[in-house]
């Protein structure tokens, strides 16, 4: 809850219970407006995910933000050349280092931490942010 910057559930039960009954789907039944900068889709959690194949084919059109920890960059998965690396735990204090001239695609090993990074960036006012599902 702290990483997501959300209040304690007791404070929002009147909102959380109906949302859970809808399986997280928006009350209107449709998610917000779909961005036009790439093939993104809304998740039930309200975030945006982007097609990994499109990202691979259009790397020059996005900023890739890797939120893995430094030791992970030397393991089996290594690192991608030209990527911005800010570990998730440091991101709230280093949001200003994220380039804003292109849409930002967050990634990690599995897609979980990068989804949290998208929430942090969105709350900081960074426009055009999507998660790379599956890492």
For the segment 3-26, what is each residue's pLDDT rounded down to a tens digit? Answer: 667 666 666 666 666 666 655 555
pLDDT tens readout for residues 65-76: 999 998 888 877
**By residue range, what is the domain housing residue 96?**
33-131
Domain CATH for 117: 3.40.250.10
Is position 108 annotated as part of the catalytic site? yes
State the average pLDDT over residues 46-75. Answer: 92
pLDDT score for 26 = 54
Which are the contacts of 22, defined by CB distance < 8 A and separation ≥ 6? none
Q: Count up the domains in the chain and report the number.
A: 1
Q: Does a structural domain hold residue 8?
A: no
Rounded-to-integer distance, Cα 84 and Cα 65, Å:
5
**Among residues 48, 62, 65, 108, which one is catalytic?**
108
Rounded-to-integer distance, Cα 104 and Cα 82, Å:
13
Q: Does a structural domain hold residue 15?
A: no
């Amino acid at each position: 809850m702290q990483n997501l910057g959300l209040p304690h559930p007791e404070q929002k039960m009147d909102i959380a219970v109906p949302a859970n009954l809808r399986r997280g789907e928006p009350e209107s039944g449709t998610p917000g407006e779909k961005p036009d900068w790439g093939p993104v889709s809304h998740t039930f959690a309200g975030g945006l995910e982007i097609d990994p194949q499109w990202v691979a084919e259009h790397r020059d059109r996005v900023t890739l933000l890797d939120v893995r920890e430094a030791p992970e960059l030397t393991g089996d998965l290594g690192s991608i050349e030209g990527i911005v690396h800010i570990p998730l735990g440091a991101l709230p204090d280093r949001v200003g280092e994220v380039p804003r001239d292109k849409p930002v695609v967050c990634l990690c090993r599995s897609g979980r931490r990068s989804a949290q990074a998208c929430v942090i960036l969105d709350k900081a006012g960074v426009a055009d942010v999507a998660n790379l599902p599956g890492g």
